[in-house]
């Protein structure tokens, strides 16, 4: 019997004073610093305000409550001009509590329908910008109330996820209530009819930036009535009547930028727009299959206008917008940001292009259409990295999310495209992502950590992340009070911990304690962060030294708590796997016994073998197998119903994966070391399924099944059952044909013992006794 280490592959209180340490020599009076102490309340007001500006609203409010001075500074209006609520629970109660600080609030970002419903309770009537995501459940009624209370609104953006319950009625409310509106971008609306668009044309004379993205139907003729529009995007919108577009949109007098990416636009419409529009400067048509497949596309005359498509070199095209001929570098956006010659129109175009390109690249990465490998390797990765350096936070976030997404080719098996991952690394992407992860903005932290996590599935990228100090950064983010940040950081540590060379570094950086603390912090309710934390601990527990640190940090209790209480299968699987790995070092530490002695551990693992999810059953059986090496655990498992549960599992896994079969037989092998358990296994019907598993095609299953049958054969009743159930031919077959030397040896031992002369006499006596009783 062999012990296997289960390892997932690739996949401050109340005091206002803080004590500091100083050398023991006399120093001059430094004002707020005296006798080795710093009085933070003596800092200049502007310094405190600057520090407060780097905190999220919750931490800012908490810190301002520590003393009277900071309470006054904490409500300074300059700190509350912008509010990002996405990472926190924001409801009516929280909005009411924040209302007094939000009198001059101008910019708001929210997430989800509950937050949308609470916005009006902020009483922020001076709001200029509202941006929301996860708006699938936001209704017409909610949006209408929001815009009715915020008549000074200049920008409204909802997306990129689809606004499934918003209709043209809400758009009309926006038009009637927000006459100062300049930017409107909505995603995933089913129908944008003429009456809604005409209302915008009539009541919003300053509307210059419109985006109806990924909609089903948009009235093309009505869009031609919005004469103020300068930038227009219908990217991803279906059922466009391109004939109407080609005859009307070129007449829009102020239209500078048009985005038709991810649509079925053809070369005729593109040619008409480029040749007929007097104002148009940029037409973006990325990922437009009909256009790209048209052989006549090369004959389109752009008339000095810029056409961006997959078949064009985008950076070179963008360079043509600059009067300076030196702007020919690969990172055109970076060149523009540092340009000394500021052109207002060019700035507007480049700012708009950053938005629409980041959106389109993200959507394209999400859909992962075939045939774009060359684009991603030669242009896409570099574009995303360039956009990640934008001064627009939402662009940075989308670019980082795009990087996290475009490398993934198989979500289920955590498989990534190595070429794309290494393209990011070659272009300096790892350092850029790590710098972004160090931002004080939590949205950027989260998306950067997600990208680092996904990219780190590749061993070369993981090495680069570690060499660039990424482990310390991720461990720091794992301590975040923001669940989304902590979740993505834990995911990064999970993937990095696959590499044996990174385990010690994670432990040295305090990663073990940070991960264990995450479990206690986010239980219950944070399934994503819990799964990632447990998965990372499982990988770390496969290392002998790290497994000791996991136990010292309270990891056994934390993991057992997850196994007992969490209902999410991903968390259950990783918790069981981590416990299995902790129990796999019985010869070198006491973790095996410690897991068994943890209240409810064995009962929870036995229960998990009945899970409807195969991965959970497999890891639970593996944990019981490793735990069965300890004598006390072995009997306690049986007392917890482990024999019955594992026999049932063995009976049901004839068509399961070899991993589950191996662990089910292995756990029975471990329990069968005890004579009482061996008898119980036979009586519960465990012989037949073990014989069936001995016939498996997988050599690992051969070993565990043969080992279990060998132990069972020591009992004459079980030996008889083996004979009666056809076990002899199965064992003979293993002896002669199994690839596994261990399986052949175990099978031979079982046969040798069964047919030992003394054992044969016991078998014969047993048969005679049975015959006599009949």
Domain total of the chain = 1
Residue 64 falls inside a structural domain: yes
Residue bearing tokens 């911990």? 497
Determine the pLDDT at residue 760: 54
CA distance 309 to 263: 12
H helices of 628-756, in order, are 631-639, 642-652, 658-671, 675-683, 687-694, 699-712, 716-724, 727-737, 741-754
pTM assigned to the model: 0.86
Asked whether 719 and 754 are in contact (CB, 8 A), the reply is yes
Residue 74 falls inside a structural domain: yes
DSSP string, 84-117: E-TTS---HHHHHHHGGG-TT--EEEEESHHHHH
Determine the pLDDT at residue 26: 37
Residue 198 falls inside a structural domain: no
pLDDT in tens, 244-253: 999 999 999 9
Asked whether 699 and 737 are in contact (CB, 8 A), the reply is no
Determine the pLDDT at residue 85: 87
Write out residues in the chain with pLDDT < 70, as ranges: 1-38, 299, 323-330, 340-341, 756-774
CA distance 660 to 5: 15
Asked whether 61 and 70 are in contact (CB, 8 A), the reply is no
User: Looking at residue 56, which CATH number applies to its domain?
Assistant: 1.20.1280
Residue 61 falls inside a structural domain: yes
Residue 168 falls inside a structural domain: no
Determine the pLDDT at residue 761: 58
Cβ burial of 197 (10 Å; 0-12, 13-18, 19+) is buried
Determine the pLDDT at residue 28: 39
* Structural domain harbouring 52: 45-79
CA distance 362 to 314: 16
Residue 707 falls inside a structural domain: no
Determine the pLDDT at residue 36: 56
Residue 214 falls inside a structural domain: no
pLDDT in tens, 281-290: 999 999 999 9
Residue 72 falls inside a structural domain: yes
CA distance 507 to 502: 9
Residue bearing tokens 């910008």? 129
């Amino acid at each position: 019997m062999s012990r296997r280490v289960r390892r997932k592959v690739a996949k401050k209180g109340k005091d206002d004073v803080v004590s500091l340490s100083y050398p023991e020599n006399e120093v001059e009076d430094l004002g707020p610093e005296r006798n080795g102490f710093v009085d933070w309340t003596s800092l200049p007001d502007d310094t405190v305000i600057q520090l407060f500006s780097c905190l999220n609203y919750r931490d800012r409010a908490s810190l301002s409550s520590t003393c009277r001075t900071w309470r006054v500074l904490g409500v300074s209006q300059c700190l509350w001009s912008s509010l990002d609520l996405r990472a926190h629970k924001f409801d009516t109660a929280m909005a009411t509590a924040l209302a007094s600080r939000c009198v001059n609030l101008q910019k708001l970002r929210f997430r989800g329908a509950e937050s949308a419903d609470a916005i009006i309770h902020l009483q922020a009537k001076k709001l200029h910008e509202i941006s929301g995501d996860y708006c699938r459940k936001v209704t017409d009624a909610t949006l209408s109330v929001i815009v009715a209370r915020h008549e000074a609104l200049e920008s409204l953006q909802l997306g990129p996820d689809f606004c499934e319950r918003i209709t043209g009625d809400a758009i009309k409310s926006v038009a009637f209530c927000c006459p100062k509106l300049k930017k409107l971008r909505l995603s995933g609306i089913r129908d944008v009819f003429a009456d809604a668009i005409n209302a915008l044309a009539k009541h919003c004379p300053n509307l210059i930036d419109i985006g109806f993205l990924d909609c089903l139907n948009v009235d093309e003729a009505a869009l031609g009535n919005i004469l103020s529009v300068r930038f227009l995007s219908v990217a991803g919108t279906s059922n466009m009547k391109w004939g109407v577009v080609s005859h009307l949109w070129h007449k829009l007098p102020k239209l500078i930028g048009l985005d038709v990416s991810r649509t079925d636009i053809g070369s005729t419409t593109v040619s008409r727009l480029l040749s007929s529009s007097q104002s148009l400067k940029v037409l973006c048509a990325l990922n437009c299959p009909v256009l790209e497949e048209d052989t006549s596309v090369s004959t389109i005359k752009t008339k000095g206008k810029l056409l961006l498509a997959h078949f064009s070199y985008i950076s070179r095209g963008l360079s043509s917008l600059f009067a300076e001929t030196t702007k020919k570098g690969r990172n055109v956006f970076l060149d523009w940001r540092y340009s000394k010659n500021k052109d207002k129109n060019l700035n507007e175009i480049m700012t708009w292009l950053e938005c629409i390109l980041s959106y389109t690249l993200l959507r394209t990465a999400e859909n992962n259409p075939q045939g774009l490998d060359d684009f991603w390797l030669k242009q896409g990765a570099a574009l995303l990295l360039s956009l990640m350096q934008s001064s627009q936070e939402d662009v940075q976030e989308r670019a980082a999310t795009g990087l996290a997404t475009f490398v993934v080719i198989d979500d289920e098996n955590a498989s990534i495209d190595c070429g794309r991952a290494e393209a990011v690394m070659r272009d300096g992407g790892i350092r850029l992502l790590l710098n972004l992860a160090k931002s004080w903005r939590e949205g950027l932290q989260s998306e950067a950590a997600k990208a680092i996590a996904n990219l780190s599935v590749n061993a070369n990228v993981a090495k680069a992340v570690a060499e660039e100090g990424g482990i310390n950064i991720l461990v720091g983010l794992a301590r975040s009070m923001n669940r989304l940040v902590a979740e993505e950081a834990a995911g990064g540590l999970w993937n990095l911990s696959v590499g044996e060379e990174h385990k010690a570094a994670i432990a040295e950086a305090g990663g073990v304690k940070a991960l264990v603390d995450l479990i206690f912090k986010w239980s219950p309710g944070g399934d994503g962060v819990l799964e990632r934390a447990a998965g990372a601990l499982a990988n770390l527990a496969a290392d002998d030294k790290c497994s000791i640190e996991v136990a010292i940090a309270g990891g056994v209790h934390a993991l057992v708590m997850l196994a007992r209480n969490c209902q999410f299968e991903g968390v259950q699987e990783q918790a069981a796997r981590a416990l299995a790995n902790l129990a796999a070092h019985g010869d070198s530490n006491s973790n095996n016994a410690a897991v068994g002695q943890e209240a409810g551990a064995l009962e929870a693992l036995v229960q998990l073998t009945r899970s409807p999810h195969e991965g959970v059953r497999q890891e639970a059986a593996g944990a019981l197998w490793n735990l069965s090496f300890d004598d006390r655990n072995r009997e306690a498992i049986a007392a917890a119903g482990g024999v019955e549960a594992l026999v049932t599992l063995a009976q049901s896994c004839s068509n399961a994966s070899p991993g589950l079969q191996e662990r089910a037989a292995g756990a029975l092998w471990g329990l069968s070391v005890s004579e009482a358990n061996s008898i119980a296994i036979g009586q519960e019907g465990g012989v037949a399924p073990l014989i069936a598993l001995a016939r498996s095609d997988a050599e690992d299953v051969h070993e565990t099944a043969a080992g279990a049958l060998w132990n069972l054969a020591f009992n004459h009743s079980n030996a008889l059952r083996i004979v009666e159930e056809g076990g002899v031919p199965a064992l003979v077959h293993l002896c002669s044909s199994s690839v596994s030397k261990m399986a052949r040896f175990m099978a031979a031992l079982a046969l040798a013992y069964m047919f030992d002369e003394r054992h044969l006499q016991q078998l014969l006596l047993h048969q005679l006794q049975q015959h006599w009783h009949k």
